């Protein structure tokens, strides 16, 4: 029971981890991308589209290609979303909140539209989008996992994307704190004018971090469809996880390494109502509030503490225009 | 900015414009909308394979084809406009209230609660009065909480109000399950279907007349409030520069909290209109993403309540029209969101050409003017 709970919590948490790592990378450059929810939808549906056509057209499924094609499609889709956001907010200096919300509207609409109409548009005669074969390739777990008992179940039973999520989070965390380029990126997010004066190419840093952040967030959508949902796309199935990922950014106080544990905690809070016996349907709904309530508490505490290292990047949400100092 | 490798002067650089004449700035916006409609047309044709003019014709008939459709469009515009009006004073103050969704839901829940428990106990006029007060208070409380923390500890309001949405959604879900009819079904269903207690009356044979009339009055009041009242002046000073506001003796904390209470209260009224005037029930989807769409509506209209009528109408028109397209061509209804997204991207992008201009290296000449 406990093992199953932890496993489920991790599986729930991984999309949030991808989303929050991507969002942290974006926010560290001073851009609050509220479009993450939309980006994750697009990352998911593009992977589905790629997988769908490969599964329909390939006579013989090659498991390497079955993973590679959706992965590439997902990367392209999320990168385009990131590019749209970067173009509007960095080059055209548009309001970040409005752009982000528009991106979410667009992305969720894109996901649901192609999810609902892909079969009709492609003209293929299949009842529903079910990529069970592709999903199986994604779900390949380590061969020795089931031989290690409980330890194997808790640590090694997940599919490769789950480990990719953790590796990315660790790498991004090291990048922020141990590399020169990470220092420059943080400078851009804290005070772009100073970074600019020090010779940092502010626009390039913002573009790269937004687009990379979107790609990472898009993997969250891909993981959700291919692993959690077993390759079955259902409209709005992804739900509010994109917003939960943004909540996780605050919970992790802008640190991807904390976000690894935070994501599992959030995943657990997300499903805990299934594991507490004797809850009515209504009370279950109240329990689903937990991740958001915890986030608000963290947000209030960090603002009361006034500690510098706990604050959001200082220029978060503001456009940078060189001649306006 | 670009062409970093060239050491010489870059190809162009960006300079801020002075005030562009209103006619010119609106010309740029109209050009951007036309460009967006062309792109939307291309996308639609690629997806449906139909003649684009026919597709736009379908959209128009979907939005305003019959009298019933006109009223439905008007009522949707009214609700969206009401929420847009609500978020506007907060935005003018640079307080990013993206919690309208939650504030609307709390208002809706409060009025539904009154309808359920006071339905046949007090006269209808008294019930509606109680509902108005309850929904205003509920919305205002939901707006007050983040404002209180923002004013005292500078807590990030964008993230706080965002989280409050989901708290509100779960609270509504809880009560929907607790009060569901029949018990355990997870739906409250139409409240007071026979007595119609707490429903807005049908006027001139139109059940949406009340909603539309109330929102028109609110629009005018909000226009006057923002433009001519002392409060409106104070909040735009706070939005312009907090330090200036402090210097000239404005109590910033008070203005922030007061404005957010107003913003929340108006959202509460929108919730009331949804429950008493439209749906006669409450679900977790009552706000239906309008809280977010309203932010775009308000921003597109440059925070001017009168322009907001147009921008709200544009968004609702698109959604209704795209809904018709998806129904006729058997596509998913989310098509509307894609079109809305594209149009907003274009309008957002066009603002750049209103606020800035590009200066080229050789001779100064303006582009996109």
Kindly list the distances between the CA atom of residue B221 and the CA atoms of A88, B85, B214, B306, in Å, as whole numbers in the listed order.
34, 10, 11, 11
| Structure confidence at residue A126 as a pLDDT band (50, 70, 90) | low
> Are B355 and A93 a contacting pair at CB < 8 A?
yes
Banded model confidence at residue B362, pLDDT cuts 50, 70, 90: low
Please tell me the distance in Å from B213's CA to the nearest CA on chain A.
Answer: 29
**Nearest residue of chain A to residue B175 (CA atoms):** A282
Please judge whether B334 and A247 are an interchain contact, meaning their C-beta atoms are less than 8 angstroms apart: no
CB contact under 8 A, B167 and A296: yes
C-alpha to C-alpha distances, B9 to A88, B367, B368, nearest whole angstrom: 25, 19, 22
Chain A residue at shortest CA distance from B288: A105
Q: Determine the average pLDDT of the residues in A295-302.
A: 86
**Nearest CA distance, A190 vs chain B (angstrom):** 15
Note the pLDDT tens digit of each residue in B75-100.
888 999 999 999 898 888 888 888 88
Q: Pick the closest to residue A221 from A204, A188, A244, A198 (CA basis).
A: A244
How many CA atoms within 13 Å lie on the side-chain side of A204?
11
Which residues of A are less than 8 Å from B187 in CB distance? none
Q: A 193-212 residues with CB below 8 A of B?
A: 201, 203
pLDDT at A307 over 70: yes
pLDDT given for residue B213 in this prediction: 80
* CB-based contact B173 A303, cutoff 8 Å: no
Q: Judged by CB atoms within 8 Å, which residues 273-302 of A form the interface with B?
A: 280-283, 285-286, 288-289, 292-293, 295-296, 299-300
In this complex, is the C-beta atom of A121 within 8 Å of any C-beta atom belonging to chain B? yes
Contact A113, B331 (CB under 8 A): yes
Residue B270 near residue B203 (C-beta atoms within 8 A): no
Q: Cβ–Cβ of A117/B175 closer than 8 Å?
A: no
Phi, psi of B205 (to 5 degrees): 70, 10
Interface probe for A, chosen from B93, B147, B160, B174 (most Cβ of A below 10 Å), is B174
Say yes or no for a CB contact (<8 Å) between A98 and B166: no
| Residue A7 · residue A37 · CB < 8 Å | no
Whether residues B166 and A292 touch (CB distance < 8 A) is answered with: yes
| Shortest distance, CA B205 to any CA of chain A (angstroms) | 35
| Interface check A101 vs B, CB under 8 A | yes
Contacts across the A-B interface (CB distance below 8 Å): 176
pLDDT, tens only, B250-285? 888 888 888 899 999 999 999 998 888 888 888 888
- Report d(CA B8, CA B1) in Å as an integer: 12
**Alpha carbon distance B276, B226 (integer Å):** 28
Contacts of A124 (CB under 8 A, 6+ apart): A56
Alpha helices in B273-368 (DSSP H): 290-300, 305-328, 335-355
d(CA B338, CA B321): 12
pLDDT for A212-260, tens place per residue? 999 999 999 998 888 887 777 777 777 788 888 888 888 888 888 889 9
Contact at 8 Å (CB) between B144 and B268?
A: no
Average pLDDT over residues B176-180: 81
CB contact under 8 Å between A303 and B299, yes or no, is no
Q: Which residues from chain B sit within 8 angstroms of residue A295, using beta carbons?
A: 159, 163
In this prediction, residue B364 carries a pLDDT of: 45
Residue B260 · residue B267 · CB < 8 Å: no
- Structural domain spans, chain B: 77-301
Does B4 score more than 50 pLDDT?
A: no
CA atoms within 13 A on the CB side of A294: 21
Of B14, B292, B331, the CB nearest to A101: B292
Contacts for A240 with CB less than 8 Å, ≥ 6 apart: A37, B166
Indicate the residue of A92, A105, A121 with minimum beta-carbon distance to B349.
A92
* Euclidean distance between CA atoms B166 and B148, whole angstroms: 19
> What does the alpha-carbon distance between residue B87 and residue B260 come to, in Å, rounded to a whole number?
9
Task: Quickly state the pLDDT bin for B8 (edges 50, 70, 90).
Answer: low
In terms of pTM, does the model score above 0.95? no
HEC per residue, B82-96: HHHHHHHHHHHCCCC
Which pLDDT tens digit goes with each residue over B246-257? 888 888 888 888
CA distance B145 to A299: 13
Burial of A128 (0-12, 13-18, 19+ CB in 10 A): exposed
What stretches of chain A show up as alpha helix (H) in DSSP? 2-28, 36-57, 63-86, 96-122, 132-138, 149-156, 160-178, 180-190, 192-197, 202-223, 241-251, 256-271, 281-287, 290-305
| A165, A233 Cβ separation under 8 angstroms | no
Nearest to B155 among A101, A303, A323 (CB): A303
Contact (CB<8Å) A285/B174: yes
Based on C-alpha coordinates, what's the Rg of chain A?
A: 20
Give how far B80 is from chain A: nearest CA, Å: 15
Instruction: Measure the CA angle with vertex B128, ends B147 and B81; round to 5°.
Output: 50
Q: Which of A47, A30, A7, A23 is nearest to A224 (CA)?
A: A47
Q: Which residues of B247-256 are buried (b: 16+ CB within 10 A; e: fewer)?
A: eeebebeebb
Taken in order of first residue, the domains within chain A and their CATH numbers are 2-310 (1.10.3470)
Answer whether A44 touches B (CB < 8 Å). no
Distance (Å, rounded) from C-alpha B277 to C-alpha B210?
7
Neighbour count for residue B192 (Cβ, 10 Å) = 16
- The pLDDT tens digits of the residues spanning A1-50 come to 777 888 888 888 899 999 999 999 999 998 888 889 899 999 999 988 88
Residue A306 backbone phi and psi in degrees, to 5: 60, 20
Look at residues A57, A79, A62, A14 and name the one whose alpha carbon lies nearest to residue A209: A79
pLDDT the model gives residue A153: 67
Give A 57-96 residues with CB within 8 A of chain B: 84, 87-88, 91-95
Region class of A253: left (phi > 0), else alpha (psi between -120 and 50), else beta? left
Q: How large is the average pLDDT for residues B145-167?
A: 86
Chain A residues within 8 A of B156 when measuring between CB atoms:
250, 299, 303, 312
Is A1 within 8 Å of chain B by CB?
no
pLDDT at B84: 92
CA angle in degrees (0–180, nearest 5) for A237-B102-A293 = 75
Neighbouring C-beta atoms of residue B338, cutoff 10 Å: 25
Q: How far is A132 from chain B (nearest CA, A)?
A: 23
More confident residue, A205 or B244: A205
**What are the beta bridge partners of residue B356?**
B16
Q: How many helices (H) and strands (E) does chain B have?
A: 13, 2
Residues in chain A closer than 8 A to B285 (CB atoms): none
**Quick one: closest CA in B to A119, which residue?**
B331
The whole-angstrom distance between A117's CA and the closest CA on chain B is 6
- Inspect the interface and report whether the beta carbons of B158 and A317 lie closer than 8 Å: yes
| A244: three-class secondary structure by DSSP | helix
Rounded CA-CA distance B114/B198 in Å is 8
Q: CB–CB of A304 and B351 under 8 A?
A: no
Residue with tokens 């943080």, as numbered in its chain: A186
């Amino acid at each position: 029971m406990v093992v199953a709970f932890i496993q489920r919590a991790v599986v729930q948490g991984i999309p949030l981890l991808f989303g929050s790592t991507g969002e942290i990378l974006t926010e560290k450059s001073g851009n609050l991308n509220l479009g993450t929810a939309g980006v994750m939808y697009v990352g998911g549906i593009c992977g589905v589209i790629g997988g769908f056509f490969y599964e329909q057209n390939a006579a013989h499924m090659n498991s390497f290609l079955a993973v590679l094609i959706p992965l590439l499609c997902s990367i392209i889709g999320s990168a385009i979303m990131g590019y749209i956001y970067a173009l509007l907010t960095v080059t055209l200096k548009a309001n970040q909140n409005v752009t982000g919300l528009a991106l979410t509207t667009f992305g969720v609409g894109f996901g649901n539209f192609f999810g609902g109409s892909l079969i009709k548009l492609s003209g293929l005669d299949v009842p529903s989008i079910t990529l069970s074969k592709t999903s199986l390739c994604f779900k390949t777990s380590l061969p020795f996992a089931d031989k290690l008992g409980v330890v194997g179940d808790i640590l090694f039973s997940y599919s490769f994307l789950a480990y990719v999520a953790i590796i990315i989070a660790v790498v991004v965390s090291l990048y922020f704190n141990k590399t020169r380029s990470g220092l420059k990126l943080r400078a851009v997010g804290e005070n772009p004018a100073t970074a600019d004066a020090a010779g940092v190419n502010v626009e390039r840093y913002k573009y790269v971090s937004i687009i990379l952040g979107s790609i990472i967030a898009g993997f969250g959508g891909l993981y959700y469809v291919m692993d959690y949902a077993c390759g079955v796309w259902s409209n709005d199935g992804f739900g509010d996880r994109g917003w939960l990922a943004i909540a996780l950014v605050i919970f992790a106080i802008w640190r991807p390494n904390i976000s690894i544990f935070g994501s599992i905690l959030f995943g657990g809070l997300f499903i805990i109502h299934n594991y507490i016996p004797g809850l009515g349907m209504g009370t279950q709904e109240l329990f689903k509030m937990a991740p958001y309530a915890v986030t608000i508490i963290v947000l209030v505490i960090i603002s009361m503490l006034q500690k510098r290292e706990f604050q959001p990047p200082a220029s978060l949400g503001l456009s940078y225009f060189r001649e306006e100092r | 900015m670009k062409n970093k490798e060239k050491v010489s002067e870059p190809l162009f650089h960006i300079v801020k414009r002075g005030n562009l004449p209103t006619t010119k700035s609106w010309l740029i916006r109209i050009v951007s909308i036309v460009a967006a409609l062309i792109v939307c047309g291309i996308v639609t044709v690629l997806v449906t394979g139909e003649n684009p003019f026919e597709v736009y014709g379908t959209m128009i008939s979907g939005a305003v084809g019959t009298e019933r459709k006109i009223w439905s469009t008007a009522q949707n515009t009214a609700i969206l406009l009401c929420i847009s009006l609500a978020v506007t004073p907060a935005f003018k103050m640079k307080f990013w209230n993206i919690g309208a969704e939650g504030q609307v839901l709390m208002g809706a829940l409060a009025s539904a609660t009154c309808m359920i428990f006071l339905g046949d106990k007090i006269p209808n006029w008294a019930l509606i009065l109680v509902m108005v007060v309850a929904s205003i208070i509920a919305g205002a409380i939901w707006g007050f909480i983040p404002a209180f923390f923002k004013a005292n500890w500078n807590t990030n309001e964008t993230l706080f109000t965002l989280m409050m949405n989901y708290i509100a959604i779960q609270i509504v879900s809880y009560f929907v399950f607790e009060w569901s009819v029949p018990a355990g079904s997870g739906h409250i269903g139409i409240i007071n279907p026979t007595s119609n207690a707490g429903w807005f009356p049908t006027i001139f044979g139109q059940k949406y007349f009340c909603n539309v009339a109330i929102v028109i009055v609110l629009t005018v009041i909000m226009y006057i409030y923002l433009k001519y009242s002392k409060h409106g002046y104070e909040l735009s000073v706070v939005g312009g520069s907090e330090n200036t506001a402090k210097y000239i003796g404005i109590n910033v904390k008070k203005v922030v909290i007061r404005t957010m209470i107003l913003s929340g209260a108006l959202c509460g009224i929108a919730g009331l209109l949804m429950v008493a005037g439209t749906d006669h029930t409450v679900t977790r989807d009552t706000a239906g993403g309008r809280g977010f769409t309203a932010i775009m509506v308000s921003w597109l209209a440059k925070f001017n309540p009168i322009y907001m009528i147009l921008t709200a109408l544009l968004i609702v028109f698109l959604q209704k029209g795209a809904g018709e397209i998806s129904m006729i061509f058997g596509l998913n209804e989310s098509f509307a969101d894609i079109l809305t997204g594209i149009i907003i991207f274009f309008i957002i992008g066009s603002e750049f050409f209103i606020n800035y201009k590009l200066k080229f290296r050789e001779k100064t000449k303006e582009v996109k003017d």
